[in-house]
Structure 1
Amino acid sequence: MKDDNPIRLSRRKMLGGVGAIGLASAGAGLGTTAYFSDEESFTDNSLTAGELDLLVHVDYSEDQGSYAQYSTPDGTYIDGGVVGGQEDGEPLQIEVSDLKPGDSGEAEFCFSIVDNPAYMWMCGELTDDDENGQTEPEAEVDDSGGDPGEGEGELADAMQVTLSYCSEEDGETVIGEEIVSDSLGDVMLALQSGVPLSGDGDADTPIDDREPFEGVESAFDDEEPNTAEQCVCVSWEVPTDVGNEIQTDSVMFDFEFYAEQARHNDGTTNPCVDETVVTEYDNDWKGQTLGNPTDGSVYTGVSYGEDQTVLSFTFVDDDDGTDFLDTADYSSTNLPVAVDADADGTHDWQLIWQPNAGFPDDPFGYKENTGGSYGSSQSLPAGFSALKVGNTISFGIPNSELSSTFRVLGYGSTGGEGPVAKVNADPTVGPDWFNSANAVEFTE
């Protein structure tokens, strides 16, 4: 099928609220003559809105050897963005100082969703990755310059972070399936794109077929947390093989959890991005006969951050067992994305995911428009990043490389075996890698 009008969805956040919304009564059958009569009453009818209130229970600890040990107090929870849910409370903020190779930490986040089942997302952003000057031993191994506040630190790349599902069994935390594991910088790239969470702990479930998190009647039962079965665990470490390149460096980041009612909802709305464009796969482009067609949609998201803008492409396949991004189904599957960084009518460069191309940053590459042609594939420029998590491909672009208005053209291909996934203003038209007139325009 073709969709000539891509669907654009605005950002949505957590739904909440409680209140009475109406009273109604009815009477019937009052006699108006001296003949037979009867009366049936339906009294005290009421309609009461439900609620959806998300509380996040936090258990965090860190190990810095003899320097420091820290853990959150028992019973720490977040409600309304602040510790303990008090109006004058403070957001939960964890600071780690004097970080050294070998230091580590872990956190468990469990959810009380009162009182409706909900789809959940985890979002985040890396807000600082600074060099903060250089010591003499750091300068010997790090040629980035060391200017404070320039975002040239190495700590975000050095720290390793793993997000996993977990649950409580007999008082012990049991780690389940891994959601994403990479450097802190790449994990935060995935979170800025939005990571959908599944209520059954299945990390491979597509966003339109995942289980919501169950609701509970109250957040506490006899002062003990009353939570959904699935929790999310986060662990971090600075590997012992990291050297002087991280001296004096610092990072700052935020992350959030969102809950949205499951009723009358399919869970595909991503609250972590600022705008989404949805286009369907095209199985009959140019009237080709395909050997392996499949249906699905690509969700293109744009998230504007303090330092970078993230383009994300989530492929949602039908349930026929054939997946657009699976090289076992399509050996030549790929996704090139052309960007007109200043919306002047000409694409400036391409970002490419192609797992069998042998790119310098395999499976990612970068091609620059050299004035009517594209050069050979290069490594991603400094400050750019890319990551594939499940069926989502994300590209991080420094804000300095984009104007407030820019255009994007995507043309996912399965190498002729199956459909194409076009992201452009008119999906019935083929890709133009140079003229951006038919690209999708975004404005911050």
Structure 2
Amino acid sequence: MNPDTNDTIGLSRRKLLAGLGAVGVASAGAGLGTTAYFNDTETFEGNTLTAGELDLKLDYRATYAGGTGRIDEVNGWYPDFDVVEEEEGIYLIGEAPSIDEPDAWEDEVQTRDFCLPDVGLVNGDEIPVFVLEDVKSGDCGEVTISLHICDNPSWVWMNGELTENAQNGYSEPELEALEDLELSTDDPEGDGQLADAIDVTMWYDENCNNVLDVDAEEAGDSVCVQLVIDTSGSMGGSRIANTKSGAKQLAATILDANPDNQVGVTEFSSTADTPQPLTDTFSAVETAIDGLNASGGTNAQAGVDAGQAELENCPHDNRVMVVFGDGDINTDGSEAKDAGTEIFAIGVGGASFDDLSDLASDPADEHVFFANDDDAIEQLFGQVAETITAGEEIIFEGSLAGAMAVLSEGIALDGNRSVDGRQPYEGGLTQCIGFEWCLPAEVGNEVQTDSVAFDLGFYAEQFRHNDSPDVSFNGTDVDSNSTGNVSQ
């Protein structure tokens, strides 16, 4: 993994100093003799220019499904990490930051502000995730990597490189297997078969739970989605503006996914109201969302009750409530959940992750989405929209050799999958990428003694003044020719 790379939008120092020198040089009349002239001076004082920050930080959680009874063996491969057998035959082999409670990593990475210093992330460190020996058919490994942009919106690429694909000689069973498959046995020091035999899947892990979730509404199944939006006084300013944009984006995604889908809008502050009952007409939903205003207190219980009352009118079996709040969530949503409603809880600002988890449907790690920055609200709604309509999006499926071939040229990642066109990654929001490898059970002796090594990396480049970034990769080496608005 390369150290953090910051592209700099240049300013000519000579021009800058000349400009600052001209500020505040309004003429004051020069006196001759004792004559006094009318005069006046105006100044612009205390001018400062401070460069912004672009820092990409990573953390990860890696597991190895390698069979039972191997804890001592696996632990020996990781001298700097205490391997834990989380389930029978499934080992936690790496985690940053390290979390004491089981199954808490996906919650932690969504709620902590990882742009603060000294939080134990991968920040310029080149570390291996998988250091495995004695891999056999049926073994699998998975790593979920969470990305944190500090603090400017940025384009992000994933890159990688196959650095070893070794035959390591031949065992007798391997020679027989290769001959049966009519594969060459002439070069014991050449390329092996392992990189082609290993299957790899990469995906946008929307809820950071180390699992590819594909149980979204199947094509043909219709759904009703009631948006329940906090409009209390703390939601004023850019927060309500970003919420409106995100809510409209989610509504459009739901309605575009199936002509029979319906969306409604409920708002809550001190009390609750439903300005838009369930409808299949986007313009009606858009008008209702545009009419939301922030004022008053917070009564999430009233909002959830009103939202559930409207969902009772849904003509379909699938009923979903998306609750957004920035403060106290004083309900666990039990009546709505008991009635069969699936609840997604979105939080920002002062919202408590524990309260959101109590409100959301089980498992909470698949239904709670949280951001530390208001600018990330739209992407929060986008993550929920993708989860409801499409499940988690697969980036690549194929062999390890194929994955590394694609990654060697760089994969441009999309910060918001629910809108058309590639979007940058916002600061203050955790987004995760899943990477899973498996050596299929049907693979036999042809891969005996073979070994592979590979690198994974991520590259971030500023979004501002950089609408069409020109970035190329040679494995994990990055070459950016983006110039943007550079002073000459």
TM-score by length of 1: 0.49
More helix by share: 2
TM-score (norm 2): 0.45
Greater relative contact order, per chain length (Cα 8 Å cut-off, separation 6+): 2
More strand by percentage: 1
